[in-house]
Amino acid sequence: MTQELQQVHSATGAKPEGAIDEQSAAAAVRDMFDEIAGRYDLLNHVLSANVDRLWWRRTARTFRHILQRSDARVLDLCCGTGDMAVALRRQSPPDANAYFGADFSHQMLRRGEQKFRGKGVIAIEADALRLPFADNSFDLVTSAFGFRNLANYNAGLHEIDRVLAPGGEFGILDFSEPGGLFGKLYAFYFRNVLPKIGSAISGSKSPYQYLPASVHRFPAPEAMMEEMRAAGFSKVTWTPYTFGIAGLYRGSKS
């Protein structure tokens, strides 16, 4: 078994410091994001040098073939403050169905609601592992930098599969750990510099110590794609963004 495949089987979900089971892990993640919600957008833009905006737009353009349909049913999962959902909406026609943005962090979702007003996006406070939607509800499900924080990755994939309609697609945009010399330089920044900047701006230390740890714990691309196939998805791919700092996982429901 390769190192990547070993990683996906050993890391079943996010595990913040002090968490002892999936319930405590989920509660810790929710509390962290509630705590930093007020400065979350600012920190994202500062720490990524605004590259995060390019990643959202690129992801939205990838799914234009779905988003340009006025009858498309779309869910942005773990939507946070709503940037991915708004980027998706910009690709849709004026008469498109309302999209949904779901998150279990109340404070993050409050800020998302402000961006959704007048843009045809409905905010739903919900756990990504127990979504309040019927089977086969959506043609597209996305998640930008949120899936990695689920307490159980496999359960998250199966819940996405449940709410996707047959032939529907999903995309997970998230961080990865690039290799080579660039990867070593970025790893130093990500693990040593970024947490200090994030802690100084947000006034909270633990979320920005958790961030690099959560990325390291998340399955590597090959392992994540294997997990997606095991969950029953087809046409599984991973497209690296910005030298592999982030990337888009895609799959379809058979």
Q: H-helix or E-strand containing 112?
A: helix 106-116
The Cβ-side half-sphere exposure at 141, using a 13 Å CA radius, reads: 29
The pLDDT value recorded for residue 201 is 79
pLDDT of residue 11: 58
Spell 43-62 as b/e; 16+ CB within 10 A means b. Answer: bbeebbeeebeebbbbbbeb
When divided into structural domains, the chain yields a total of 1
| 195: Cβ contacts below 8 Å, ≥ 6 apart | 205, 208, 209, 211, 212
- The pLDDT of residue 137: 98
Which residues constitute the domain of residue 95? 3-253
Domain with 103 in it: what CATH number? 3.40.50.150
pLDDT of residue 43: 80
The pLDDT score that the predictor gives to residue 76 is: 98
What is the pLDDT at residue 87? Answer: 98
101, β-bridge pairs:
76, 123
- pLDDT tens for 43-72 read 888 778 889 999 999 999 999 999 999 999
Residues in the chain with pLDDT values less than 70 = 1-11
Count CB neighbours of 18 within 10 A: 9
Query: What was the pLDDT predicted at 25?
Result: 95
pTM, 2 dp? 0.92
